[in-house]
Amino acid sequence: MKWTMDEVPSLEGKKIVITGANSGIGFETALACAAHGAHTILACRDEAKGEHAIAQLKQSHIRGEVENMKLDLSSLSSIREFSSTLLDKYNSIDGLVNNAGIMMTPYQLTADGFESQFGVNHLGHFALTGLLLPALLASPHSRIVNVSSGAHSWGSIDFDNLMYEGGKGYSRAFAYCRSKLANLLFSKGLQKRLLEINSDTIATSAHPGWSSTNLGMRSHPLASPIMSIFWKLAQSAAMGALPTLRALLDPTAQGGDYYGPDGFRSSRGHPIKVGSSQDAQNPELADRLWVVSEELTGISYSWTNDN
């Protein structure tokens, strides 16, 4: 049976945080959650774009409340401010969707000196999840979803040059692949630690396949009239959001599950459990990345729900 939007349950009384929810996969995820009654928090870097997304959601006759909050994942200061504000307002969170990201950008550094793709796509979400973890642990059966990419299979983690220091060896394509591999290793490391404390919170992952989104259209280094034709063959952002929604909401999902489209090379179609690269399944690699991520961000996870 194909998993479709019809499988999304009632989300009345649930609070769900989605990063990068003003467009693309994030917006479609927010729309589905709000349409089914969730109080949906759009964590967006650009406040104006977030407000525009809120207006669009309200025009769609949603049942749940929607809220826009500023979050810049390239800044640990912004992540701390966002998390502090959120935890002051809410004691519990039912779902966190780590969706936001940048793709194939030229070499540049975040405010904290991290290579930007690794800093935003992985370290930003690692820090955010750690800060929000007490509220997630306080909510029974909460979920954390890390949105990765099929591109993770071309990624590798070089701890001797993790940030491509000074641009050494930098490839914007392979840096993106590294960050997406890090997303899956983060899910693996997080699920391991959730199991160790016997928590019913789980960590899952998803990838959207080949979907028509602003991220891909603007960021692809081969953007051209020819590429625009190929993008027209991609599936819609709404279809691309289904793996994320299944990872977040399917009651049969288990910690560590990874969802992607069921079509050719997992490029399009309905969501199913999919495989990942050998590196993405390496527990030693996941543990080492976890330790390095804590050191870089200064975020040490607290495994209690005292917030």
Report the pLDDT value the prediction gives residue 220, as an integer from 0 to 100.
Answer: 47
Measure the CA–CA gap between 238 and 24, rounded to whole angstroms: 8
Task: Say what the pTM is.
Answer: 0.93
Phi, psi (rounded to 5 degrees) for 287: -65, -40
Q: Kindly give the pairing relationship between strand 202-206 and strand 258-261.
A: parallel
Residue 285 has pLDDT above 70, yes or no: yes
Report the pLDDT value the prediction gives residue 219, as an integer from 0 to 100.
Answer: 45
CA triplet 110, 111, 113: central angle to 5 degrees? 60
Report the pLDDT value the prediction gives residue 213, as an integer from 0 to 100.
Answer: 57
The burial class, CB within 10 Å (0-12 / 13-18 / 19+), for 150 is: buried
Q: Residues 53-108: pLDDT tens digits?
A: 999 999 998 999 999 999 999 999 999 999 999 999 999 999 999 999 999 999 99
Identity of the amino acid at 74: S
* Helix 24-35 / helix 242-249 crossing angle, nearest 10 deg: 50
Measure the CA–CA gap between 58 and 56, rounded to whole angstroms: 5
Identity of the amino acid at 151: A
CATH architecture observed for domain 5-297: 3-Layer(aba) Sandwich (3.40)
Give the pLDDT band (50/70/90) at residue 264: confident
Which residues carry out catalysis? 176
Distance (Å) of CA 143 to CA 93, 131, 247, 298: 9, 15, 8, 23
Q: Residues 163-206: pLDDT tens digits?
A: 999 999 999 999 999 999 999 999 999 999 999 999 999 999 99
Q: CB neighbours (10 Å) of residue 99?
A: 25
Phi, psi (rounded to 5 degrees) for 304: -130, 170
* Domain residue spans of the chain: 5-297
Which among 107, 108, 279, 262 is positioned nearest to 184, based on CA atoms?
279
- Phi-psi map region of 83: left, alpha, beta (phi>0 left; psi -120 to 50 alpha): alpha
Contact status, residue 5 vs residue 31, Cβ threshold 8 Å: no
Report the pLDDT value the prediction gives residue 233, as an integer from 0 to 100.
Answer: 62
